[in-house]
Amino acid sequence: MKNKATPIDIETLVDESLLVFIASDDVQDTLQGVRRGIEREMLRVTPSAQLSHRPHPKSLGSALTHPYITTDFSEAQLELVTPAVTGRKETFKKLASLHHFVATHLPEGESMWAASMPPSLPLDSDIAIANYGTSNVGMAKMRYREGLANRYGKRMQLISGIHYNFSLPKPFWQMLHANTESQLPLEDFISERYFHLIRNVLRNGWIIPYLFGASPAADKSYLRDKPYQLLQLDSTTDYLPWATSLRLSNLGYGSSEQSRFPISFNSKQDYLIGLCKALTQPSVQYSYLAEHQQLNGSVLQLENELYGSIRPKIVNAQMRPLVAMCHYGVEYIELRSLDNNPLLPLGIDELQSQFIDLFLLYSALSPSPEISKQERTLIMQRQELVATQGRKPNLMLPTLNGEVLLTDLAKPLMNLLAKMATIMDGGQNNNGYEKAVMREQAKFDASQLTPSAQILAVMEQENLNFTTLMKSYSDEHQQGYLSDTLSDDEMTQLQMLAYNSLLEQKQLEAGNEENFDEYLARKRHINCEMPSRADAALSMQRYSMQFQDNKEPANQL
């Protein structure tokens, strides 16, 4: 018989002194400066719920250079990006504005697909990769996507989701630095504490698909020719009865080649060393591909190819992410494990955002030991179990101390988040955090309240297949987007952004001063040395000089 552990044995809780720490008026003031941004991926579909074959509408601007409206893998895969701001309501207002603007500029009859799993898909040969024009940077983005298609297939790349960008303000870090009496320089402390946060998200991240997973079913075309055994709801819909998120399971995003090069999050240096190895190590699995079929033959073509539920991030237009993080550390994290919730017009709502903020703050403050190989394996097992069987009654999850009932494993964490919510609401004069925790706690008390359960219930009760139900949600939301209004100033601003982005793309295309092969050769060069901070300013000057005559858009490949 497998060992069983009590919840108190397996949950490392925030020290009481840290609860006192966040209750401080000064700390509460700094938390007003939390910045968050949302990226939402969605497919454009026709009235018959087929993937659109039309190009990205020019009225939306250039997908290469527009800061807020771009494309992901496919020409039909929109990505709406809000800027990182401190006001939650402002974030959601901007996200709603982008949905309205896109809805009013789509080709007639098209709508935005509300779900994470795609609708009925054609053969891979009929799925168009995103087109970014003839500039070197645009062609590099397309070559990268050719590599993704040849490595993983196009259908996997059409799975869409929500990425949640989150950063804590510098004054908060300064206070925590003093409170913990850290001997690290502040900038190093901040980076290491973000990795501290990431490790705790990995440990407890199984709660994300349980609470917010919204992809328990998929159109049969997604698994065409794949050796996975799912149940059939009808002739067109595959599903798992207790699944929360097929997107986050082994049926969704994944790479067997990447699993051979596990990257450590135990420190910034460990992470960068592992990432650099994956970016420079020739791939055995993909070495057969011709040069024009991928950006390069490494395990990872680019940093962005690293799959995972969370990433450390930094924005620097002059440096590739590996080098920028080496020099300047981590600026924010990107939580990537959120499904599009088709029950919600924006795929996410403000209460969910408040819960996520609380969970991420907990992860930054809670003790976070290094993750061993054994624990890494357990984390992966928990993720897969919750993604595919998360609502199964009496589901046991593996931990370092044995198997624990899912609901028991959640109790100490949710109790602590409730305490933190009370403190946060008292410090910020609202009750949103407590409401958010209460709503999510109810899902542990009654799994039928989870979005995955609600979606399957509607399918079964109304005898609807996956595509029909998701198209119904998509059409309903589309009408809502169209009925929203923007002020004249907001509409003018978005129209000008679209117009200016088209001009910027033309300027990039006119400014190619080296041929594409030379450009790629230069971009392939990676310096994996870990320079001291004293060298950073000089390195920045060198990289700035290298790129000043070849300006590239800030949004990366």
- Please give the full DSSP string across 204-218, using - where no structure is assigned: HTTHHHHHH--BSEE
pLDDT value for 42: 99
SS3 476: helix
Beta strand spans in 395-487 (E): 396-399, 402-405
Q: Report how far residue 395's alpha carbon sits from residue 379's, in angstroms, rounded to the nearest whole number.
A: 15
The three-state (H, E, C) secondary structure of 100-147, written as one string:
HHHHCCCCCCCEECCCCCCCCCCCHHHCCECCCCCCHHHHHHHHHHHH
**Separation between Cα atoms, residue 121 and residue 51, nearest integer Å:** 7
306: left (phi over 0), alpha (psi -120 to 50) or beta: beta
Domain boundaries, the chain: 7-547
What tokens does 334 get? 């990107």
Distance of alpha carbon 174 from alpha carbon 186, whole angstroms: 7
Write out the two tokens for 40: 């939402």
Instruction: Give me the helix-helix angle, 186-204 and 373-389, nearest 10°.
Output: 50
When computed from its CA atoms, the radius of gyration of the chain, rounded to whole angstroms, is 23
- CATH annotation of 7-547: 3.30.590.20
Q: Given this model, what pLDDT does residue 529 score?
A: 64
Residues 6+ apart with CB under 8 A from 275: 263, 300, 303, 306, 322
pLDDT of residue 13: 54
Query: In this predicted structure, what is the pLDDT of residue 268?
Result: 97
- Is residue 174 within 8 A of residue 29, CB to CB? The reply is no
Query: How many Cβ atoms are within 10 Å of 313's Cβ, its own excluded?
Result: 20
Give me the pLDDT at residue 227, please.
63
Buried b (16+ CB within 10 A) or exposed e, 423-459: bbbebeeeebbbbbbebbbebbeebeebbbbbbbeeb
pLDDT of residue 11: 42
Q: Give, as one character, the DSSP assignment of residue 80.
A: E
Query: Which residue in the block uniquely carries the two structure tokens 């809000």?
Result: 82
pLDDT, position 554: 38
List for the chain the helix, strand, coil content (%; round to 5).
50, 10, 35
Residues in the chain: 557
pLDDT average per 10 residues of sequence, the chain (557 residues): 41 67 95 98 98 98 98 98 97 98 97 98 96 97 97 95 98 97 96 98 98 98 80 94 97 78 94 94 91 93 93 89 94 98 99 98 95 96 98 98 97 95 84 95 98 98 97 98 95 98 97 89 74 42 34 41
**How remote is the C-alpha of 365 from its chain's centroid?**
22
- Annotate 291-356 with three-state secondary structure: HHHCCCCECCCCHHHCCCCEEEECCCCCCCHHHHHHHHCCCEEEEEEECCCCCCCCCCCHHHHHHH
Query: b vs e for 498-512, b when ≥16 Cβ sit within 10 Å of the residue's Cβ?
Result: beebbebbeebbeeb
Question: Largest Cα–Cα distance of the chain, in whole Å?
Answer: 69
Residue 58 DSSP label: G
Residue 527: C-alpha distances to residues 346, 523, 546 (Å)? 41, 11, 15
- How far is residue 374's CA from residue 512's CA, in Å, rounded to a whole number? 49
For 158, 275, 296, the CA distances from 289, given in Å and listed in that order, are 22, 22, 9
Within 366-431, residue ranges assigned H as helices are 373-389, 406-428
Query: What is the full DSSP assignment across 534-551?
Result: GGHHHHHHHHHHHHTTS-
